[in-house]
Amino acid sequence: MTVFHITTLAGDGIGPEIMAVATTLLERVAEQHGFTLALDPRPVGGAGVDACGEPLPAATLEACRASDAVLLAAIGGPQYDSLPRPQRPESGLLALRAGLGLFANLRPVRIVPALIGASSLREEVIRDVDLLVVRELIGGIYFGQPRGRVVGEDGEERGFNTMTYSSSEVDRIARVAFDLARQRRGRLCSVDKANVLDVSQLWRDRVTALAVDYPDVELSHLYVDNAAMQLVRDPRQFDVLLTSNLFGDILSDEAAMLTGSIGMLPSASLGASGPGLFEPVHGSAPDIAGQDKANPLAMVLSAAMMLRIGLGQEDAATALESAVDRVLADGYRTGDLMSPGCRAVGCRAMGDQLLAALA
Ligand code: NAD
């Protein structure tokens, strides 16, 4: 029987609660589809700090590199916010993405029919939304040097970061987006701020130049401020959205709300080779951690993306996604999705319903 080695990183806050749901389902679905998952839990983020004094312990990164895929829940919490930046949980996550060379972050946004009422937008605006945000993940302003805080001669403190992209960094993420557009509806919209930023002008020039290799893909460009507006005005116009690291961070959270809750959005991060990292878009939700209130569905859908993209187990992935659709159609909702007439459940009970739906 095929055995896949998976490093699981539960992290902080609601992370362990939603990871427990996902791993139970993964083990069941693997059994049903004739393969085995060898799960190797490791600490990361605040849990890494607590266990080993650093947010990305060397042994965790090593285990991730040696596995077939990495499944992450979420990191971060207020108790770590006063640590020096290199020891903050968020630094561990950035180091993990960089350490695995994960330059492409894929965030699909699909409206589940049963959840149309949970969106803050009107039904006619969001019906049939099916878009994919392709975000550059290990470049741009989150990594650019120089960065820091300095006190000037006048005694005033100044903080600064650098937004920088090389042509090869733009090309490799743009090619991922063109290829995915080709497999979907053939439309790619590249997001930048080329009217103001030099780095964005380079971005636009490179993406435009690459388009000659993809005559079957219809390329358009939007400034990021307009893209933010269009996402809530008429999200159905989008197929694939290509963004830099910062713009994608913001736009994908906005796009998440089209689905009704950030607790619904999965993501995949991929490199040129080696294991991918699969994780929900949301954070560790410290405000509801430990209260059995978390929505585990983004985590479960991330596990489905891992099965499909990371392990090539299409049928098992579809089975998990169908289980999610089924429990929602049956009216089960965690608090973040709750609407009148639905059945309120906690994180664990949602997991039980999913398990029953898999059977
Ligand atoms: P967040 O996504 O954790 O929470 C935002 C809001 O959404 C909160 O009200 C939270 O309760 C709710 N929410 C999020 N996920 C939910 C779920 N699955 N079910 C129900 N409700 C959910 O973002 P934040 O509050 O800005 O950040 C909290 C911590 O998470 C911070 O330490 C931040 O750095 C970290 N963070 C981590 C990641 C990651 O691990 N990839 C991403 C974003 C933020």
Minimum CA distance residue for ligand 1 atom 30: 283
Domain at 122-259: CATH code: 3.40.718.10
Ligand 1: does its nearest atom lie under 6 Å from the Cβ of 262?
Answer: yes
Q: Which CATH class is domain 1-119+266-359?
A: alpha beta
Pairwise CA distance, residues 77 & 48, whole Å: 12
Alpha-carbon distance of 298 to 288, in angstroms, equals 16
CA of 281 to the centre of ligand 1 (A): 8
The residue-averaged pLDDT of 148-160 equals 97
Confidence label for 18 from pLDDT (cuts 50, 70 and 90): very high
Q: Is 256 in the pocket of ligand 1 (CB under 6 A)?
A: no
SS3 letters for 249-306?
HHHHHHHHHHCCCHHHCEEEEECCCCCEEEEECCCCCHHHCCCCCCCCHHHHHHHHHH
Alpha helices in 123-185 (DSSP H): 123-126, 167-183
Task: Give residue 263 CA to ligand 1 midpoint distance, Å.
Answer: 9
Q: Region 304-314: what's the mean pLDDT?
A: 94
The mean of the pLDDT values for the chain is 95
> Are β-strands 266-270 and 240-243 bridged in parallel, bridged antiparallel, or unpaired?
unpaired
pLDDT at residue 242 in the model = 98
Q: Is the CB of 137 under 6 A from ligand 1?
A: no
313 Cβ inside 6 Å of ligand 1: no
pLDDT of residue 140: 97
Nearest protein Cα to ligand 1, atom 31 = 76
Question: Do 1-119+266-359 and 122-259 come out as alike in CATH topology?
Answer: yes
Ligand 1 touching residue 76 (CB < 6 A): yes
Averaged pLDDT for residues 242-264: 89
- From residue 36, alpha-carbon distances to 1, 28, 274, 307 in Å are 7, 10, 20, 12
Cβ of 283 below 6 Å from ligand 1 = yes
Query: Over 80: is that where the pLDDT of 118 sits?
Result: no
All structural domains of the chain with their residue ranges: 1-119+266-359, 122-259
Question: For ligand 1, atom 6, which residue shows the shortest CA distance?
Answer: 285
Q: What percent of the chain has pLDDT over 70?
A: 100
Q: How confident is the model at residue 271 (pLDDT cuts 50, 70, 90)?
A: very high
- Banded model confidence at residue 256, pLDDT cuts 50, 70, 90: confident
- The β-bridge partners of 38 are 5
Residue nearest to atom 8 of ligand 1 (CA): 285
User: Residue 209 has what pLDDT?
Assistant: 98
3-state secondary structure string across 86-129: HHCHHHHHHHHHHHCCCCEEEEEEECCHHHHHHCCCCHHHHCCC
Closest residue CA from atom 25 of ligand 1: 285
Substitution candidate for ligand 1 out of 44, 97, 259, 262 with most atoms within 8 A of CB: 262
Centre of ligand 1 from the C-alpha of residue 232, in Å: 21
* Residues designated catalytic: 142, 193, 225, 249, 253
Number of H helices, E strands in the chain: 12, 14
| Residue of 120, 245, 264, 284 to test ligand 1 pocket, by largest number of atoms within 8 Å of CB | 284
pLDDT of res. 281: 87
300 and 332 in contact (C-beta within 8 Å)? no
- How far away, in angstroms, is 241 Cα from ligand 1 center? 23
Q: What is the pLDDT of residues 45-88, one digit of tens each?
A: 999 999 999 999 999 999 999 999 999 999 999 999 999 999 99
Is pTM beyond 0.85? Reply is yes
